[in-house]
Amino acid sequence: MVVTPQSHLSSHHQPLPTEYQTTAEGRASAEAYYKDDNSNINTTSSTANMSPKLSLSSTIPLTNSKYTMPRLGFGIYQSPTDVCVNSCLTALRAGYRHIDSAQFYRNESEMGEAVRQSGIPRSEVFLTTKILSAGGSPEKTYQKCLDSVKAIDPSEGGHVDLFLIHSPSPGSAKRKEMWQALEKLVEEKKARSIGVSNFGIGHINEMKEYAKIWPPQVNQIELHPWNQQREIVDYCRANNIVIQAYCPLVRNNKAYEENLVAVAKKHDKTTGQVLIRYCLQKDWVPLPKSDTPSRIMANADLYGFELDGEDMGILDSLDQGPRGAIVQAVKND
């Protein structure tokens, strides 16, 4: 028999039934279903890192905003245009209400098309995109952002829920140009919230010199047990900046890691489910990515178990600092 990180799963284990997951009421029913189904799993232990009563419909407030963000997102980096719509539709049927794209991904329009095909009201789905490079002038940069909004939501009054600067790498002047374009989007009601990605402490502090909106409402960074980025995480928490976690599954590079497999076996869950649950209990907003329907659904089946203090300690101990990054760790100076 071939042993995989998921070999321990019992034969009756099933992902959340998709037919339950197109409405808030359906998601609640699905969660109740799994609460009963997993009644034999030990969920009595708790951890100080865990947000209470997490569910598929849990949201997190955004600072200086009346809006909230779903605590579980769905990433579509490197999701090809010919499969992206179907992947997003699978995610929406599985109960996700938060999808993350970017100009660099070249699938913004596919994300928007999936929402329209799903029949789910636009107001119930949180859509994110990002700008990686400035347009060459404030006006051109704003237009570049506006083009993304129109690609995602071409309706009258179309908007995105979150627009991020994808990276600090273009330099200080370009970061300022992009941020001012995002602020204009907010003023024009084309973006409800704005933030940054891969920004370190110095990058965010620098924004105080020119930003009308500060702090950024979100910082999206690489986060998982091997790259916990504690300095920037603590800074964001102190400044009420929501932390999004990309690459929470470490691109499956750690699926056979001994400690992770042991925790997954203890809870009769996949290693991926453990990693995503870890993010949720750290109060990060994970953005797992997959184009495989069964994995998309399994990655939303996170609410019938809890990682206890011992589990969280084991995973916390795996931190390797910047060496553990598979994309990048932020620079905080």
265: helix, strand or coil: helix
* Contact predicate 132/102, CB 8 Å: yes
* Residue 163 dihedral angles phi and psi, to the nearest 5°: -125, 125
289: helix, strand or coil: strand
The string of DSSP letters for 155-166 reads STT--EEEEEE-
Would you call the peptide bond into 215 cis, given omega within 30 degrees of 0 as the criterion?
Answer: yes
Q: Which amino acid is at 249?
A: L
* Contact predicate 210/180, CB 8 Å: yes
Give which of 234, 164, 199, 213 is closest to 333, Cα–Cα.
Answer: 199
CA–CA distance, 187 with 227 (Å, rounded to integer) = 36
Q: How crowded is residue 291: how many other Cβ atoms within 10 Å of its Cβ?
A: 16
Q: Which amino acid is at 187?
A: E
**Burial profile 142-157: b = 16 or more Cβ within 10 angstroms, e = fewer:** bebbbebbebbbeeee
Beta bridge partners of 194: 163
The string of DSSP letters for 22-42 reads SSHHHHHHHHHHHHHHTTTS-
Which residues are catalytic, by number?
A: 105, 166
